């Protein structure tokens, strides 16, 4: 039978599905693999994301589903969930899989920097240039909105929550070094750079 | 006092005004238009002091659901302290806040978990208010009759491609639209009542592509969604796009510049379809001044929204309404009376 190649699955387990069921998403077990989700998926129309396969791999406990970048291609539009004949919460399951992937350190680099922005400023899209204040003012608004941007204590509150939940560690957040200590460190950093450069050139030669 | 006046008629409706990130920090003219339009409709808005990112459902919920719940609950707690239902102008913020609110109201274990963290910042989730999208406030709380009565001039059959955005209607179980997700009509009705035509186009209810962290990490894929939507809108003859979500707005506005560049070999011609937030057009139909609706540029800043020039189509609409765009630009922004 060497003409027929089969993908053998050596080990199946409930470890992924149990994590999913724990989060009130037990309907994953109702999936009968009809593929309505895949057929409805706007991302799957243009990428390799196959939501049906994601659900199946999760049910089989295949770790590869967490390592596969496909789970990050879902735009969370919820069309799959709305159309699923079994009300399987496909989108929320993908979100949960992303949580598990993040715990394995599989968060994508641009996403990681977004989390650092949130922790630093309290906004996912902060005012990071004076032009945005000027733009607000040109539309007759207070240049600083009444959000975390106006209340430094509110940013502290967000940071307290983040620490309390261990989110800072999860996303490897390091607080920015304040300017005073930076000045002290400067010469040291320069030296470090120089040695690095030195090493590089040695390797090149 | 007149006997027939009910309590509701005397007390103006009041809401906690949740800004989110994209509107105050990138599309402030939407904030200006919405504040002024709601004020004109007799709604009182209470600012939510110190509110943060919702946090965004596609990104932050994807990394850690408990953190997402707790930061979301903090925002709702601010609205609870205001003692007024929360209204948001953004589908993403709506997606997060209504989901967090629903989960914490229905699941005592989760509520206790979140409150054990909130106590460290002297806050508490009580579950005492409702989370609403601006569309719900307009269509249901104020109601279509009130909107119709407030319209003083029609916008001349402007052909609008209405883009609902996903989280306005989905997941439908915790949305107020009666479970309709394949062909809802409320946004079309809101657009038609101001004298515009809601142009039917293929894949109207498809995602803009920005959500789920796709725009932030895999931009080309997200823009391929956008390219398709824009092609369908252009094919149907839309003169402009109307949205009620700033992230869809960003994707469909800045996205056109990006699509024109990265897909230049795949598209028949560059896109230049102006994008408006609904309240900007509603205010115009209500007889409000364009300078109060963020419709006229009063700055020379570079690299700021709107990225697709709105001036050609606005000049045409303004002419019919008796304004001149260039003249309006010379006037200073009117201060609120």
Mean per-residue pLDDT, B101-105: 98
Strands B86-88 and B131-133: parallel
pLDDT digits 0-9 by tens, B61-101: 999 999 999 999 999 999 999 999 999 999 999 999 999 99
Cα distance from B317 to chain A (closest Cα, Å)?
20
Cα distance from B174 to chain A (closest Cα, Å)?
12
B7 pLDDT tier (thresholds 50, 70, 90): low
Q: What is the DSSP letter of A158?
A: H
Distance of CA B337 to the CA centre of its chain: 25
Q: Which residue of A has its CA nearest to B171?
A: A78
- pLDDT for residue A2: 72
| Interchain contact A87–B (C-beta under 8 A) | no
pLDDT at A59 exceeding the cut of 60:
yes
Question: Cβ separation of A73 and B221 shorter than 8 Å?
Answer: yes
- pLDDT for residue A184: 45
Both tokens of B101, joined, read 């609110």
Closest CA to B70 of B124, B132, B16: B124
Distance of CA B53 to the CA centre of its chain: 15
Report CA-CA distances (Å) from B75 to B19, B51, B119. Answer: 11, 6, 14
The CATH topology of domain B148-336 is Rossmann fold (3.40.50)
Instruction: Give the whole-number percent of chain A exceeding pLDDT 90.
Output: 80
- pLDDT for residue A18: 97
pLDDT digits 0-9 by tens, B248-305: 999 999 999 999 999 999 999 999 999 999 999 999 999 999 999 999 999 999 999 9
Residue identified by tokens 């309505």 is A36
Task: With beta carbons under 8 A apart, name residues in chain B contacting A88.
Answer: none
Hey, where are the domains in chain B?
Answer: 7-133, 148-336
| Beta strand residue intervals within chain B, DSSP E | 14-18, 44-47, 86-88, 131-133, 159-163, 197-198, 240-243, 275-277
- pLDDT for residue A9: 82
Cα distance from B301 to chain A (closest Cα, Å)?
7
pLDDT at A152 exceeding the cut of 80:
yes
Look at B8-22, B37-51, B148-162, B197-211 and tell me which has the smallest mean pLDDT.
B8-22
Closest CA to B244 of B169, B176, B308, B331: B169
Q: In whole numbers, what is the pLDDT of chain B averaged over residues?
A: 95
pLDDT at A38 exceeding the cut of 70:
yes
Report CA-CA distances (Å) from B269 to A28, B250, B266. Answer: 44, 21, 9
Cα distance from A199 to chain B (closest Cα, Å)?
33
Question: Cβ separation of B24 and A145 shorter than 8 Å?
Answer: yes
Are B177 and B48 contacting, i.e. CB atoms less than 8 angstroms apart?
A: no
Task: With beta carbons under 8 A apart, name residues in chain B contacting A93.
Answer: none
- Nearest by CB to residue A81, choosing from B25, B60, B171, is B171
A4 pLDDT tier (thresholds 50, 70, 90): confident
Task: With beta carbons under 8 A apart, name residues in chain B contacting A42.
Answer: 206-207, 209, 225
Distance separating alpha carbons of residues B193 and A67, to the nearest angstrom: 49
- pLDDT for residue A192: 41
Q: What is the C-alpha radius of gyration for chain B, rounded to an integer number of angstroms?
A: 20
Mean per-residue pLDDT, B127-144: 98
- pLDDT for residue A202: 36
B11 pLDDT tier (thresholds 50, 70, 90): confident
B8 pLDDT tier (thresholds 50, 70, 90): low
- pLDDT for residue A179: 61
Both tokens of B182, joined, read 């394949």
Which part of chain A has CATH 1.10.1060.10? Answer: 15-103
Both tokens of A86, joined, read 């079994």
Is the pTM value of this prediction over 0.90? yes
Q: Which residue of A has its CA nearest to B113?
A: A165
Question: Cβ separation of B222 and A75 shorter than 8 Å?
Answer: yes
Q: Which residues contact A152 (CB under 8 A, 6 or more apart)?
A: none
- pLDDT for residue B9: 57
Q: Reduce the secondary structure of B198-252 to three states and give it as a string.
A: ECCCCCCCCCCCCCCCHHHHCHHHHHHHHHHHHHHHHHCCCCEEEECCHHHHHHH
Closest CA to B88 of B59, B125, B116, B129: B129
Closest CA to A69 of B214, B259, B68, B93: B214
Question: Cβ separation of B303 and A131 shorter than 8 Å?
Answer: yes
Mean per-residue pLDDT, A149-158: 98
Distance separating alpha carbons of residues A175 and B265, to the nearest angstrom: 44
Distance separating alpha carbons of residues A115 and A110, to the nearest angstrom: 9
- pLDDT for residue B90: 98
pLDDT at A15 exceeding the cut of 60:
yes
Question: Cβ separation of A76 and B225 shorter than 8 Å?
Answer: no
Distance separating alpha carbons of residues B266 and A181, to the nearest angstrom: 52
Contact pairs from chain A to chain B, CB under 8 Å = 224
Q: Using alpha carbons only, give the angle B100, B103, B106 rounded to the nearest 5 degrees.
A: 145
Q: In whole numbers, what is the pLDDT of chain A averaged over residues?
A: 89
The CATH topology of domain A15-103 is Fumarate Reductase Iron-sulfur Protein; Chain B, domain 2 (1.10.1060)
Report CA-CA distances (Å) from A27 to A51, A84, A153, B174, B187. Answer: 15, 11, 42, 18, 32
B29 pLDDT tier (thresholds 50, 70, 90): very high
pLDDT at B161 exceeding the cut of 50:
yes
B12 pLDDT tier (thresholds 50, 70, 90): confident
- pLDDT for residue A22: 95
- pLDDT for residue B337: 39
A23 pLDDT tier (thresholds 50, 70, 90): very high
- Nearest by CB to residue B224, choosing from A46, A99, A125, is A46
Preferred mutation among A96, A127, A138 to probe B, highest tally of B CBs within 10 A: A138
The CATH topology of domain B7-133 is Glutathione S-transferase Yfyf (Class Pi); Chain A, domain 2 (1.20.1050)
Question: Cβ separation of A157 and B47 shorter than 8 Å?
Answer: no
């Amino acid at each position: 039978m060497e003409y027929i190649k089969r993908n053998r699955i050596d080990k199946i387990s409930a470890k992924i599905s149990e994590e999913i069921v724990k989060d009130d998403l037990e309907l994953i077990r109702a999936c009968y693999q009809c593929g309505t989700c895949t057929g409805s998926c706007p991302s799957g129309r243009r990428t390799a994301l196959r939501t049906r396969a994601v659900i199946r791999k999760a049910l089989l406990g295949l770790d590869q589903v967490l390592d596969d970048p496909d789970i990050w291609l879902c735009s969370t539009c919820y069309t799959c969930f709305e159309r699923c004949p079994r009300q399987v919460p496909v989108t929320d399951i993908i979100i949960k899989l992303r949580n598990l992937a993040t715990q394995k350190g599989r968060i994508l680099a641009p996403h990681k920097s977004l989390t650092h922005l949130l922790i630093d400023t309290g906004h996912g899209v902060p005012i990071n240039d004076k032009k945005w204040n000027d733009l607000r003012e040109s539309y007759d608004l207070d240049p600083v909105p009444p959000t975390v941007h106006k209340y430094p204590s509110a940013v502290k509150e967000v940071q307290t929550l983040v620490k309390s939940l261990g989110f800072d560690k999860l996303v490897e957040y390091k607080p920015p070094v304040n300017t005073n200590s930076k000045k002290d460190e400067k010469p040291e950093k320069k030296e470090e750079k120089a040695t690095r450069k030195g090493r590089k050139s040695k390797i090149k030669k | 006092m007149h006997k027939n006046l009910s309590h509701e008629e005397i007390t103006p409706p009041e809401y906690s005004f949740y800004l989110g990130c994209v509107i105050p920090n990138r599309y402030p003219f939407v904030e200006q238009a919405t504040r002024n339009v709601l004020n004109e409709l007799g709604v009182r808005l209470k600012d939510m002091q110190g509110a943060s990112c919702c946090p965004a459902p596609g990104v932050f919920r994807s990394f850690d659901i408990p953190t997402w719940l707790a930061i979301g609950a903090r925002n709702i707690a601010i609205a609870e302290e205001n003692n007024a239902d929360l209204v948001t102008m953004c589908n993403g913020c709506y997606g997060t806040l209504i989901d967090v609110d629903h989960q914490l109201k229905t699941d005592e274990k989760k509520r206790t978990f979140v409150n054990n963290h909130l106590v460290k910042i002297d806050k508490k989730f009580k579950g005492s208010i409702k989370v609403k999208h601006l569309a719900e406030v307009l269509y249901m709380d104020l109601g279509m009759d009130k909107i119709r009565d407030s319209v003083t001039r029609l916008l001349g059959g402007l052909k609008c491609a209405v883009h609902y955005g996903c989280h306005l209607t989905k997941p439908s179980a915790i949305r107020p639209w009666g479970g309709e997700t394949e062909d809802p009509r409320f946004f079309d009705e809101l657009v038609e009542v101001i004298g515009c035509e809601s142009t039917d186009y293929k894949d109207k209810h498809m995602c803009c592509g920005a959500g789920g962290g796709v725009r932030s990490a895999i931009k080309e894929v997200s823009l391929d969604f956008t390219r398709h939507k824009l092609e369908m809108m252009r094919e149907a003859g839309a003169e402009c796009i109307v949205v009620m979500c700033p992230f869809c707005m960003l994707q469909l506005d800045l996205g056109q510049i990006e699509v024109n560049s990265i897909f230049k070999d795949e598209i028949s011609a560059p896109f230049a379809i102006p994008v408006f937030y609904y309240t900007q057009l509603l205010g115009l139909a209500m007889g409000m001044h364009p300078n109060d609706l963020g419709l006229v540029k009063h700055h020379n800043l570079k690299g700021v929204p709107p990225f697709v020039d709105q001036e050609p189509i606005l000049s045409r609409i303004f002419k019919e309404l008796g304004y001149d765009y260039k003249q309006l630009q010379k006037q200073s922004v009117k201060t609120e009376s």
